[in-house]
Structure 1
Amino acid sequence: MKNLLILITLAISCISANAQNNIFGKWKTVDDVTGEVKSVVEIYKESGKAYGKIIDITDPEEKDSVCDKCDEDDPRKGKKIMGMIIITGLEQDGKKWDDGKILDPENGKVYSCKIWVEDGKLYVRGYIGISLVGRSQTWLPAQ
C-alpha cells in the first residue's frame, strides 16, 4: 500500500510539473513597459506547430481596432486584431518553442519568436536576427 501511495504521489507530481511547463492554453499578455494586461492570447497546436490567436482585448475602446500598421503585403493589414493569429509556426525544441514568428499589432512589425514556460508563466521573446536583439514579455495564465 505504501508503494502504491508513493507511485501515485510521483505520478501527480509529474502531471503537475508537466502542466506548469505546458505552453498551450490562454495567457494574459502583459505590456513590458506599463505592466498592464492588454489582451488574452490562446496558444494552440496545429499540425505539430504552435500558434497564438488574440481572443480578448481588455480595453473596450480597442476591441474593434484593426491592424492598420501591418505591412501592405501582410494579409492581416486592415483586419480586426480581435481574433487575429499573431504567433505562427513555432516548433518544439526541448522545453522551448522556437523558429516561429510573432506580430506586434501596435506597430505592425513581425519578429522571429520563441516561447517557453517557467514557474507557470509564459516567456515570449520577439527578436530580429539573433535573439540578443529584441524584446521579451512575460504572460500570465488566464482562467
Structure 2
Amino acid sequence: METGRLRSILLVAGICLTALLPLFAQTPEKAIGFWKTIDDKEGFTTSIMAVYTYEEELFGRIIVSFDEETGTLLETHNNPIQRIKTIPEQPKLLEIDLFWRLKRDEKRWKGGKIIDPRSGKTFTCDCWVDDGKLIIRGKVGPFGLNSVFLKATTTDFPTGYSAPEIDSMMPNIPRL
C-alpha cells in the first residue's frame, strides 16, 4: 500500500475514534442517583445513598442503613434512629448530607467536603463514576482514600420502601 494512502486511512481512523471518545467518557451527571455499599466478606448491602444536585452542586446522603455485621435493615430516612455522636448537636445519620457542595467539572465533581461520621472529621472530596462505580475520594492535602459505591437497583431497597425523589431533595449540611 502506498504511504500517502496509508496516512490518509490512519488520519480518517484517528478522526473517527476521536469523535467517538465522548460517547465512552463518563460524565459527571452519571453520579446522580442511588448507590450502595457492600460488605466485602458477605456481599450484602450495608447502606444506600442518594446522590443529588441542588443549585448545580452535588450532595450525598444515606437513606437506608443496614446492620454492618448481619445485613439486617436498621433504618430508613422515613424513620431515622442512629445519631452521630461525634458532631455537635448529634444529628441523625440519615437526616444530614455526608458530602456536600461539589462543583461540576468536565469529567467529575470537585472541591466539596465530606464528613466521616465515626470520627466527626471533615475532608475535601472529589467524586466521579468509573466503570459504572461511584468513587468518592476524601483528601487531606495530596493524600486521600477512595470509597467505592455500586449502583443500587430496586431489589436493593427494603420491601415496601419508597425512596425519596432525587429531584426534590434539599441539602442538610451538618453544623460543625
Settle same-fold status: TM greater than 0.5: yes
Ranges of 4+ aligned residues in structure 1 off by more than 3 Å: 16-21, 30-37, 60-63
C-alpha contact 1:114 1:126 (8 A) present in aligned 2: yes
C-alpha distance in 2 between matches for 1:20 and 1:97:
6
For residue 38 of structure 1, report the CA deviation from its aligned partner: 2.7
* Counterpart in the other structure of 1:7: none
* 1:30–1:115 CA distance, 2 compared to 1 (3 A): farther
Q: 2:91 aligns with which of 59, 79, 82?
A: 79
Q: Which runs of 5+ in 2 are unaligned?
A: 1-22, 68-72, 154-176
Q: TM-score, structure 1 length as denominator?
A: 0.73
Q: Give the Cα–Cα distance (whole angstroms) in 1 for the partners of residues 146 and 108 of structure 2.
A: 14
Matches within 5 A, 1:1-143: 14=23, 22-30=30-38, 37-59=45-67, 60-61=73-74, 64-70=81-87, 72=88, 77-130=89-142, 133-143=143-153
Corresponding residue SS for 2:30: coil
Which string of whole-angstrom CA distances, capped at 9 and with x for unpartnered residues, describes residues 48-74 of structure 1? 10011111101245762111012x3xx
Distance 1:45 1:106 in 2: 25
Structure 2 distance, partners of 1:109, 1:33, is: 27
The alpha-carbon distance between structure 1 residues 110 and 33, as it changes in their structure 2 partners (threshold 3 A), is farther
* Structure (1/2) with the larger strand percentage: 1
Counterpart of 1:55, as a letter, is: I
What displacement does 1:36 show? 6.2
Distance 1:20 1:47, change over 3 A: closer
5+ unaligned residues in a row in structure 1: which ranges? 1-13
Point out the structure with the larger helix share: 2
**Greater Rg by CA:** 2
Q: CA deviation at 1:18?
A: 6.0
Change (3 A) 1:36 1:103: farther
User: What displacement does 1:138 show?
Assistant: 0.9
Cα offset, 1:21, TM superposition:
6.5
Post-superposition offset of 1:37: 3.8
